[in-house]
């Protein structure tokens, strides 16, 4: 997982690329500095997804269709759209499989997402406490802060005993 | 995984670019909104009509209450993402209806989600009357 940042750091220290290259790529972590408008506008309805979770082309399509945003109207003034679009694209994912554009530009349809969640049964996504694969925070306690590491997981309410045992495995 | 290799200069540049977190406008109240939309509608908002409107799906998939709850005095839950939503009734959330641009934006978005069109002045006045009366 650390391959890119380490390479980037080495390259930067050798003067091969400017330090800004480290900012431009997205690993899937949340950038340190997030525009207040991103939190205010996007995170009202869902977790503030890290820009590195989608490639630039996907973000571009998402931001040009906010009036019809996955079943809801998320329209914004043009200035804010432009600001957030630029920020998202500059930090979009280029790391390994994130560079693939997922179906419908959905993070949850990405190959890396499906692989990481392959042991989660379909019924778990449908629990009232989860509702949707887009509801990261139902299991990832640090999602609101952009932290998705496995050691910060919490169990959603309503798991069956068998699913509870699988969780521990 | 985390990028901790930002130079201080870049960090300063980033902070400058985005500016400080903007304070909320606090340029309106629910009473002002209610008076404004009642005047636009040419009749005072009606709380009972607002309550019925709020819980009605209007032939669509969602009502206002689908996300804001019934009554909207507690924390709501986004109907598709599950994200928590602060209480809508001002008596239970001092920040509700205090920023005119925000009120305008959410009426526009959410009316389109529920009714597939923008709400009329009379509909807004009715809903505001209902929300203002929740104690």
Q: What is the pLDDT of residues A39-59, one digit of tens each?
A: 999 999 999 999 999 999 999
CA-based nearest residue in chain B for residue A91: B3
A100 and A132 within one domain: no
In a domain, B121, yes or no: yes
Partnered with residue A153 across adjacent β-strands are: A140
Domain boundary (A104, A127, A151) is at: A104
Confidence at residue A148, expressed as pLDDT on a 0 to 100 scale: 87
In a domain, B125, yes or no: yes
Confidence at residue A144, expressed as pLDDT on a 0 to 100 scale: 84
Confidence at residue A149, expressed as pLDDT on a 0 to 100 scale: 82
CA B27 – CA B99 distance, rounded (Å) = 6
Taking contacts as CB-CB distances below 8 angstroms, the residues of chain A near B78 are 45-46
Confidence at residue A6, expressed as pLDDT on a 0 to 100 scale: 52
Please give the C-alpha separations between residue A37 and each of A42, A156, B17, in angstroms, as whole numbers: 8, 29, 13
**Positions in chain B whose pLDDT score sits under 70:** 1-25
A139 and A88 within one domain: no
Confidence at residue B24, expressed as pLDDT on a 0 to 100 scale: 62
Instruction: Give yes or no for residue A14 having a pLDDT over 50.
Output: no
Residues 6+ apart with CB under 8 A from B118: B107, B108, B111, B112
Measured on CA atoms in the order B22, B25, B26, B29, is the torsion positive or negative? negative
Which domain does A164 fall in, by range? 119-169
Confidence at residue A3, expressed as pLDDT on a 0 to 100 scale: 47
Taking contacts as CB-CB distances below 8 angstroms, the residues of chain A near B81 are 45-47, 131-132, 134-135
Residue A28: pLDDT band by 50, 70, 90 thresholds? confident
Measured from the Cβ of residue A120, the count of other Cβ atoms closer than 10 Å reads 16
CA A158 – CA A136 distance, rounded (Å) = 16
CA-based nearest residue in chain B for residue A26: B3
* A22:B5 CB<8 A: yes
| Distance from the B59 Cα atom to the nearest Cα atom in chain A, whole angstroms | 15
Query: Least CB-CB distance to A1: which of B1, B10, B18?
Result: B1
In a domain, A12, yes or no: no
In a domain, B25, yes or no: no
Taking contacts as CB-CB distances below 8 angstroms, the residues of chain A near B15 are 33
Is B118 an interface residue toward A (CB < 8 Å)? no
In this predicted model, what pLDDT tens digit does every residue of A71-119 receive, in sequence order? 999 999 999 999 999 999 999 998 777 888 999 999 999 999 999 999 8
* Site of tokens 């525009």: A35
* ipTM computed for the complex: 0.75
In this predicted model, what pLDDT tens digit does every residue of A108-144 receive, in sequence order? 999 999 999 998 999 999 998 888 898 999 999 889 8
Please answer whether residues B97 and B103 qualify as being in contact, where contact means their C-beta atoms are separated by less than 8 angstroms.
Answer: yes
């Amino acid at each position: 997982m650390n391959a890119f940042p380490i390479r980037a750091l080495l390259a930067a220290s050798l003067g091969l690329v400017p330090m800004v290259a480290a900012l431009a790529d997205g690993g899937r972590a949340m950038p340190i500095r997030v525009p207040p408008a991103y939190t205010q506008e996007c995170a009202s309805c869902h977790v503030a997804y890290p820009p590195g979770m989608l490639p630039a082309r996907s973000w571009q399509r998402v931001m040009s269709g906010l009036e019809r945003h996955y079943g809801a109207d998320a329209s914004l003034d043009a200035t804010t759209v432009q600001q957030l679009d630029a920020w998202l694209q500059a930090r979009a994912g280029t790391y390994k499989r994130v560079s693939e554009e997922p179906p419908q530009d959905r993070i949850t349809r990405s190959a890396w997402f499906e692989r990481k969640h392959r042991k989660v049964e379909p019924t778990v996504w449908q629990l009232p406490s989860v509702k949707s694969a887009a509801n990261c925070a139902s299991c990832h306690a640090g999602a609101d802060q952009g932290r998705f590491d496995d050691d910060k997981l919490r169990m959603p309410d309503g798991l069956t005993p068998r699913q509870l045992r699988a969780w521990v495995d | 995984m985390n990028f901790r290799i930002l130079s201080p200069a870049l960090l300063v540049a980033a902070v400058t670019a985005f500016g400080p977190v903007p304070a909320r406008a606090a340029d309106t109240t629910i009473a002002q909104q209610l008076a404004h939309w009642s005047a636009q509608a040419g009749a005072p908002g009606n709380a009972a009509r607002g309550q019925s409107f709020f819980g009605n799906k209007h032939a669509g998939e969602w009502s206002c209450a689908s996300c804001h709850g019934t009554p909207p005095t507690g924390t709501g839950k986004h109907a598709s993402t599950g994200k928590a939503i602060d209480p809508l009734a001002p008596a239970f959330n001092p920040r509700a209806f205090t920023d005119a641009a925000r009120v305008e934006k959410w009426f526009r978005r959410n009316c389109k989600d529920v009714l597939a069109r923008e709400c009329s002045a009379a509909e807004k006045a009715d809903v505001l009357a209902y929300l203002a009366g929740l104690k």
